[in-house]
Amino acid sequence: MSDQAAKWYVLTGVDDVPPGSGQEFTVGGRIVALFNDDGEFHAIDGICAHQGGPLAKGKFKDGIVTCPWHGWQFQIADGTHCLNPRICQTSFEVKIEEGGVFVRL
Q: Which residues contact ligand FES (rule: CB under 6 A)? A: 48, 50-53, 67, 69-72
Residues 6+ apart with CB under 8 A from 81: 49, 72, 73, 74, 87, 88, 89
Q: By C-beta, is 6 or 82 nearer to ligand FES?
A: 82
- DSSP class of residue 6 equals -
The nearest distance, CB 37 to ligand FES, in angstroms, is: 20
The nearest distance, CB 85 to ligand FES, in angstroms, is: 16
Closest CA to 49 of 25, 74, 24, 28: 74
Q: By C-beta, is 34 or 47 nearer to ligand FES?
A: 47
Phi, psi values for residue 85, rounded to 5°: -65, -10
Q: By C-beta, is 81 or 104 nearer to ligand FES?
A: 81
